Amino acid sequence: MSAKIKLAIFASGTGSNYQAIEQAIRAGKLEAEVGLVVCDQPEAKVIEKARQNNRPVFIFKAVDYQEKAVFEQAIINELEMHAVDWIILAGYMRLVGSTLLKRYQGRMINIHPSLLPAFPGLDAIGQALKAGVKVSGVTIHYIDSGMDTGEIIAQEAVNVKIGMTHEQLQTTIQQIEHDLYPRTIQQLISKGDSF
């Protein structure tokens, strides 16, 4: 039996997508293991979730480093120490820089709560509501140097109903994310080799 693909989950907040990935692994729907959780917010809820699952967690504060290249190198050291194959961004609210890209491009994906290229960047859900669109959704894409611009891997649409609040649209979108992300990761890793 070959070794399982190792994922690193990068997150900045609640970690519901992280949790959905752990659940899919436990349910045998995703043949991988979480080798590391990386978090740039020391108070984020995802940290507690990762600890409950006994996962190694690398926590950093960007302000403690001179520049992005320096903390990204520190992240790479951790990723290498834990023999990580794929980087899964799950609510990591930071633009990935050239240091990480050089090492992991093609093995680094993100989930975004809109149908890209519509509404990139912060608060995609608020942007969609403000624009009055009738359809929004979820996009999973490879990371490149832009803000939510990498090649699209999977998308799923959501109807935006009249009068829907931010919270309601977010809940609907996250339900889709929690199913689509583990399924898409499984498809990707079953296609590729590890490093």
Residues designated catalytic: 112
Classified as helix, coil or strand, 74 is helix
What are the residues binding ligand GAR (CB under 6 A)? 11, 13-17, 90-91, 111-113, 124, 148, 174, 177
Least gap, CB of 190 to ligand GAR (angstroms): 23
Residue 155: exposed, middle, or buried by beta-carbon count in 10 A (0-12, 13-18, 19+)? middle
Which structure tokens are listed for 107? 């093995």
- Report which residue's Cβ sits closest to ligand GAR: 91
Which structure tokens are listed for 104? 């992991």
Residue (106 or 146) nearer to ligand GAR, CB? 146
Residue (105 or 175) nearer to ligand GAR, CB? 175
Residue (35 or 137) nearer to ligand GAR, CB? 137
Half-sphere exposure of 17 (CA within 13 A, CB side): 29
Least gap, CB of 3 to ligand GAR (angstroms): 27
Residue (176 or 194) nearer to ligand GAR, CB? 176
Residues 6+ apart with CB under 8 A from 9: 17, 18, 21, 34, 36, 37, 38, 46, 50, 88, 90
Edge-to-edge strand ranges of the sheet holding 5-11: 57-59, 32-39, 5-11, 86-89, 108-112, 135-142, 152-159
